[in-house]
């Protein structure tokens, strides 16, 4: 039906053109990542961990590139701000919808089933967190409500960046340039911390370590194929519990929160 497909090239504004190109770049990156994953044996845990770190960096770099492009466009055309947000939201929804279809009976479905079983044994279940680049921080924000702590995602990000900057020597050795393999320079490290505070850069193991020290609370990460990882074991008290999913969405890894299993609540109250 005419009018329901793509617009004529000449009718697209700068924002639509940029969003279309960025979507294409994301798909190309995902294809590249899939190729990288196919070269690593499933039983090579060390290499798969290295691969996960490499993938996270590639995705974060592309996301940062796209954000800078959108920022420049916004500064050039402030009146397009609403249009930009609507287009980005639509693109994100389309991406998630595509991933939902692709993973309905695939890796995501199997991972969700196994995680549900692991959590149910502890009278817990997954509490879904949006996939927007802030998922790890949003999951911690949700968990902190049980610790009488009302820190927001913005606060968690800012505190993480400040802690890592003030403990430079503890974190720098674990950060390498994905293109050269060299350890980050001081400038690259500062940019990494600035991205933590001011962008939707994904969080990982290093940020969890920083947050465990900031909150002085152990952080437990439940995952499918190995025992839970506990960061900050030196601290006492009830751990913050997150669920790490490798196949949650088309772009890869994702963190969710947990809550008391609904069925368990019903059974205990009956």
In tens digits, what is the pLDDT along the chain, a chain of 270 residues?
Answer: 433 344 444 456 777 888 888 889 888 888 888 888 788 787 777 888 888 888 889 899 989 998 888 888 777 655 556 666 777 778 877 777 766 665 555 666 777 788 888 888 989 998 999 888 899 999 999 999 887 788 999 999 999 999 999 999 999 999 998 888 899 999 999 999 999 999 999 999 999 999 999 999 999 999 887 889 999 999 998 899 999 987 655 556 889 999 998 865 444 444
**Catalytic site residue from 66, 134, 135, 247:** 135
Nearest C-alpha neighbor of 133 from the set 197, 203, 81 = 203
**Catalytic site residue from 44, 132, 146, 263:** 132
Q: What is the pLDDT of residue 175?
A: 93
Q: What is the pLDDT of residue 11?
A: 56
Tokens encoding 209 = 């370590």
The distance between the two most distant Cα atoms of the chain, rounded to a whole number of Å, is: 65
**Catalytic site residue from 66, 134, 247, 254:** 254
Q: What is the pTM of this model?
A: 0.58
Domain boundaries, the chain: 9-103, 123-269
Q: What is the pLDDT of residue 268?
A: 45
Q: What is the pLDDT of residue 138?
A: 96
State the DSSP H helix or E strand holding residue 228, giving kind and residue range, or none if neither: none
Yes or no: say if 242 and 255 are a contact pair by the CB < 8 Å rule. Answer: yes
Taken in order 166, 172, 177, 182, the sign of the CA dihedral is positive
Yes or no: say if 127 and 258 are a contact pair by the CB < 8 Å rule. Answer: yes
193 is catalytic: no
263 is catalytic: no
CATH topology of domain 123-269: Cathepsin B; Chain A (3.90.70)
């Amino acid at each position: 039906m005419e009018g329901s497909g793509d617009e004529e090239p000449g009718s697209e504004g700068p924002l639509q053109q940029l969003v279309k190109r960025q979507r294409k770049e994301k798909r190309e990156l995902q294809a590249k990542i899939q190729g990288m994953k196919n070269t690593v044996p499933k039983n090579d845990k060390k290499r798969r961990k290295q691969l996960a770190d490499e993938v996270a960096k590639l995705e974060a770099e592309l996301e940062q590139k796209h954000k800078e492009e959108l920022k420049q466009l916004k500064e050039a055309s402030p009146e397009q701000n609403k249009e930009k947000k609507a287009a980005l939201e639509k693109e994100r929804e389309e991406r998630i919808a595509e991933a939902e279809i692709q993973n309905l009976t695939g890796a995501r479905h199997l991972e969700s089933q196994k995680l549900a079983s692991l959590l149910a044994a502890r009278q817990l279940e997954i509490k879904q967190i949006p996939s927007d680049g802030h998922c790890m921080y949003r999951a911690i924000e949700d968990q902190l409500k049980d610790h009488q702590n009302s820190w927001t995602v913005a606060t968690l990000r800012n505190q993480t960046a400040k802690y890592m900057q003030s403990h430079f020597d503890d974190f720098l050795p674990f950060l390498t340039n994905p293109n050269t393999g060299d350890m980050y320079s001081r400038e690259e490290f500062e940019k990494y911390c600035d991205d933590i505070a001011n962008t939707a850069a994904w969080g990982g193991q290093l940020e969890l370590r920083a947050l465990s020290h900031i909150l002085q609370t152990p952080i437990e990460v439940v995952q499918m194929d190995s025992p839970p990882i506990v960061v900050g074991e030196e601290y006492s008290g009830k751990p913050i519990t997150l669920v790490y999913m490798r196949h949650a969405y088309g772009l890869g890894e994702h963190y969710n929160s947990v809550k008391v299993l609904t069925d368990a609540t019903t059974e205990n109250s009956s």
